Amino acid sequence: MSKKVTIRDIAKESGVSTTTVSRLLNHVEGYCSKETEQRVWNAIERLNYHPSKIARSLVTQRTNLIGVIFPDIYNSFFQDLFRGVEEYASKLGYQLILCNTDGSSKKERDYLLNLAENLTDGIIISTSNGEDDNTTIVDLHKRGFPIVTVERYGEELKDVPRILFANREAEEQVVNYLYRCGHRRIAYISGPPTATNAIRRLEGFKNGLKQNGLSADNSLIMTGNYKMESGQDCMRKILDACMHKGGKPDFSAVIAGNDLMAIGACKTILERGLRIPDDISVVGCDGTMLADLIRPKIGTIRLGGIDMGKKAAEYLINEIRSQNTEEKKVLFQPELLLEGRIKSIET
């Protein structure tokens, strides 16, 4: 095995001190002539030297690593979010460490503390898709550790940079669109009752009904957990409770709290021999590729996961570099992808 090249070898090869080599590697200017500098870089190239990131981090107190904590890396929205973070951060020389909590508050806290313990320069953390405990996040931020949250709520986070989505408004707009298309009986599959974004989406759905003079029917509202299987199960229960004797549903559309549950609902609808959107129009939320994979395509609400990820990375790197932005919160607005995916009903 060949001997690992060190800065001592570079110093000896170029006839300078190890201090001079170290300063050049860390881009500290003004300590040697251009001629000497070129001699050192030539030696580095000849010896094929690759600096130790660990050693460099001890000098700079930076690792150029960013921690990313998500509750479910199989969820397409979080995949889009990660892609956005990576696209922005990699251009500025940062690499990512991805952590999956499976919605566990203990795993989330352990990841936060471990990543903050000299391992990363900052952390991006999204909602846990459950009842969020923001204590550790607030403590880290108060200690000056750079941290940005995505789709995470709580008054205690008011001073922490946050990337949020207009959840209520999104579902209100969907109900308004469905109403204009003639739909009067609309089912809803909600996300977990402990998840703030799920609560707000359900509120938006009920607000939309009220704005159009419709009443919420509890037999048409079920609670899932943002996973595909729960969408299947909830749709099954709704169909069992709300079918005419002729085998047709007594509702014409269903909205799901995310795209995964919407796909699950589609599976149940098709298994029952019903057609989409002729018998039931389906709308999800996330705007991921899943809504385009099923045929015919289903409606969805685009959150802009990639753009949210880029904005989260921008905010975090500004925090890392002490380039604080005045705004602590960005609220992303919905984009409805419904045209050509919803059946119009004559009223």
Nearest to 82 by CA among 94, 101, 96: 96
For range 131-135, the mean pLDDT = 91
Across the chain, where does the E strand assignment appear? 65-70, 95-100, 122-126, 147-150, 162-165, 186-190, 221-223, 253-256, 281-283, 300-302, 329-332, 335-337
Crossing angle of the two packed helices 228-241 and 259-271, in degrees rounded to 10: 50
The CA–CA distances, whole Å, from 232 to 189, 237, 266 equal 10, 9, 8
Class of domain 62-166+304-335: alpha beta
pLDDT at 174 over 70: yes
Structure confidence at residue 1 as a pLDDT band (50, 70, 90): very low
pLDDT at 113 over 90: yes
Position with higher pLDDT, 132 vs 59: 132
**Rounded Cα distance, 136 and 225, in Å:** 25
CATH 3.40.50.2300, domain 168-303, yes or no: yes
Structure tokens at 127: 């909602």
Position with higher pLDDT, 316 vs 42: 316
For range 226-254, the mean pLDDT = 92
pLDDT at 92 over 90: yes
Helix (H, G, I), strand (E, B) or coil at 257: coil
**Rounded Cα distance, 235 and 238, in Å:** 5
pLDDT at 319 over 60: yes
CB 239 within 8 A of CB 254: no
Residues 17-40: pLDDT tens digits? 888 877 777 666 666 788 888 888
For range 43-71, the mean pLDDT = 73
Structure confidence at residue 273 as a pLDDT band (50, 70, 90): very high
Across 297-345, where does the E strand assignment appear? 300-302, 329-332, 335-337
Tell me, yes or no, if the two domains 62-166+304-335 and 168-303 fold the same way: yes
Domain residue limits, the chain: 7-51, 62-166+304-335, 168-303
Residues 301-313: pLDDT tens digits? 999 999 999 999 9
Quote the DSSP letter at residue 61. Answer: S
Q: Using CB atoms within 10 A of its CB, is residue 331 exposed (0-12), middle (13-18) or buried (19+)?
A: exposed
CATH 3.10.25.10, domain 7-51, yes or no: no
Structure confidence at residue 266 as a pLDDT band (50, 70, 90): very high
At 58 the pLDDT is 45
At 192 the pLDDT is 95
